[in-house]
Chain A
Amino acid sequence: MSTLIVVEHRDGALTASTTHVVAAARALGTEVDLLVAGEGIDAVAAAAARLDGVRAVLTADHAVYAHQLAEPMAALIVACVDDYSHLLAAASSSGKDILPRVAALKGVPQISDIIAIEAPDTFKRPIYAGSAIATLSNHAPLKVMSVRTSAFDAVAETGSAEIRALGIVVDNTLSTFVGDELATSHGPELGSARVIVSGGRGLGSGENFKLLDGVAAKLGAAIGASRAAVDAGYAANDLQVGQTGKVVAPDLYIAVGISGAIQHLAGMKDSKVIVAINQDEEAPIFGVADYGLVGDLFEVIPALESRL
């Protein structure tokens, strides 16, 4: 048995998510190969080759794979996945976009968002916004699965796998890249941050939302947001933590002015330590918080910043 992992990269660098997916693949007990596709990907391939436990890094370097659009990526993966028993990618916006397209082209189902591997064909995943955990067995000849990266520890980067160019070029007449509007973030990436400071509707405005920046800077934290805060325009969409946004599990999650709807809890309740700061002592967020502080966040946040 062997596993192929679709490597994610951005701005010429490997994203942290891949290191967690490799850990999941190693838990399967199979050989592990990585696929790096894009345009000008030498540095990404070299970084991928350093991940522990990787047998080979396969590369496809061509303009058609620039921006990793789902249509050419899926066609490429279909062309090189025949020898594998498992196909994995991170359950990121890119993995979610590409993997199901591959699964359907191969005529096999997909298991999304796996959080545990019971056996090479048996997996656990959350359903109903994490209100229940399903155990599924997958009997397909190719087991396609996206991995919830927060559920697997990253592997070390001390390996030296072989890098092999595939030389496969596919056509894409279906989709064209038009442009990106990427948020400029100052702190660490939300998905891999050790500490996250997250704001909700309680902050009241986009201007007030910036109050969190000071605390986040002192803690080296990433900024997150509830759906309510994103819908209200206080924070960018890619900061949303929850059932339909990002699922995170940092060492410390500080929820500020977030009431704690089940959809939000689904995205952060596996954090190691949760702090809730909210004016409403009945807010459901306190039910999952290790340390709750009832109070006016406009007084608490500056006070917290000054004591860190």
Chain B
Amino acid sequence: MKVLVGVKRVIDYNVKVRVRPDHSDVDLTNTKMAMNPFCEIAVEEALRLKERGVASEIVAVSIGPKAAQEQLRTALALGADRAIHIESEERLDSLEVAQVLARLVAEEQPGLVILGKQAIDSDNNQTGQMLAALTGMGQGTFASRLEVTDEEVQVTREVDGGLRTLALRLPAVITTDLRLNEPRHARLPDIMKAKKKPIDSRGIDTVGLAASGYLRLERVETPAARQGGSKVASVDELVDKLKHEAKVL
């Protein structure tokens, strides 16, 4: 079975983002970038499916600027077999990304698509569900466990209140939650070998995406900073302040 995994290039999760002085967007110039942590989990799950003999081929896909090829190289070093890069310098909304991915799903016919549940830049949590809708597939969102058989995948999902298990007919779309697995790191020899693996890079204009222009980013601001930092010396003082100053007890 072929597995398609999504890889997004985002700000490194340890880096604090800055807002541009003109409030048009955040400022990512000279910012350290990395693979979205939930995409790392998606790649890892695909690798484990291949190691268990369930997946036969792993295709990593990224939609984004030219530099997104760095994250595809990482996926290849980790063990993806080949990569597809749809180059777009413009930022796309989740529906547009899902539309491009749907085109690639039609082309590649994977048995399973694994995406991160959200990217840590936009925090949208939409693309997987949208891709499932556009391709007529079932969806297993926020997955913490997968079990693939010939015709179906059983997905345990992290939901409010606990865990829920579903069975989905294949092909299906899975989105990863934090506890699905712990991603491995690429080894140096594999990083060298990955340089020889193929990346099929094409322009966004080749996939026939018709941008709707429905969403417009009007303004980006830094939220009002919280005035914290006060300390109390004892439990008695804490309880006293909560009762008489904050009046929450």
Question: Which residue numbers of A lie inside 8 Å of B, CB to CB?
Answer: 10, 67, 69-71, 74, 92-94, 96-105, 107-113, 122, 126-140, 173-183, 191, 195, 219, 227, 230-231, 236-238, 243-244, 246, 251-252, 262-263, 269, 272-275, 286-294, 300, 303-304, 307-308
Report the stretch among B67-75, B136-144, B190-198 that lies at the interface. B136-144
Name the contact of B162 in the complex, choosing from A105, A133, A236, A288 (C-beta under 8 A): A236
The answer to whether B242 touches A137 (Cβ under 8 A) is no
**Residue on A nearest B182 in the bound complex, by CB:** A231
The answer to whether B98 touches A262 (Cβ under 8 A) is no
Contact (A178, B166) CB under 8 Å given A104-B95, A287-B229: yes
Please, what's the 1-or-0 string for B78-117, where 1 marks a CB less than 8 Å from any CB in chain A? 0000000000000001110010000000000000000001
Interchain residue pairs with CB less than 8 A apart (14):
A69-B166, A70-B141, A93-B158, A110-B94, A132-B221, A137-B215, A140-B212, A173-B169, A175-B139, A180-B163, A244-B178, A275-B242, A289-B229, A290-B230
Q: Cα distance A291–B249 when bound, in Å?
A: 14
Contact (A100, B138) CB under 8 Å given A140-B212, A291-B242: no
The answer to whether B213 touches A101 (Cβ under 8 A) is no
The answer to whether B218 touches A101 (Cβ under 8 A) is no
**Chain B, range 147-182, C-beta contacts under 8 Å to A:** 154, 157-169, 172, 177-179
Contact (A112, B230) CB under 8 Å given A138-B214, A237-B158: no
Contact (A136, B218) CB under 8 Å given A93-B159, A175-B166, A291-B241: yes
The answer to whether A262 touches B16 (Cβ under 8 A) is yes
**Chain B, range 3-28, C-beta contacts under 8 Å to A:** 11, 13, 16-17, 19, 26
Contact (A182, B235) CB under 8 Å given A100-B129, A140-B212, A291-B242: no
CB of A257, distance to nearest CB on chain B (Å): 15
Name the contact of A70 in the complex, choosing from B93, B117, B129 (C-beta under 8 A): B129
The answer to whether B161 touches A127 (Cβ under 8 A) is no
Main SS at interface, chain B: mixed
Tell me if B122 counts as interface (CB < 8 A to partner A): yes
Find chain B residues with CB under 8 A from A181 CB.
162-165
Find chain B residues with CB under 8 A from A274 CB.
226, 228
Contact (A243, B129) CB under 8 Å given A140-B214, A291-B242: no
The answer to whether A138 touches B215 (Cβ under 8 A) is yes
Contact (A97, B231) CB under 8 Å given A104-B98, A176-B167, A252-B248: no
The answer to whether B218 touches A109 (Cβ under 8 A) is no
Contact (A128, B232) CB under 8 Å given A180-B162, A181-B163: no
Contact (A292, B242) CB under 8 Å given A132-B223, A139-B213, A308-B249: no
Contact (A112, B123) CB under 8 Å given A93-B159, A103-B130, A287-B229: yes
CB of A246, distance to nearest CB on chain B (Å): 8
The answer to whether A290 touches B231 (Cβ under 8 A) is no
Q: Cα distance A181–B145 when bound, in Å?
A: 13
Find chain B residues with CB under 8 A from A108 CB.
95, 212, 214
Contact (A135, B94) CB under 8 Å given A104-B130, A128-B121: no
**Residue on B nearest A69 in the bound complex, by CB:** B166
Q: Cα distance A71–B135 when bound, in Å?
A: 12
The answer to whether A263 touches B236 (Cβ under 8 A) is no
Q: Cα distance A292–B238 when bound, in Å?
A: 8
The answer to whether A112 touches B219 (Cβ under 8 A) is no
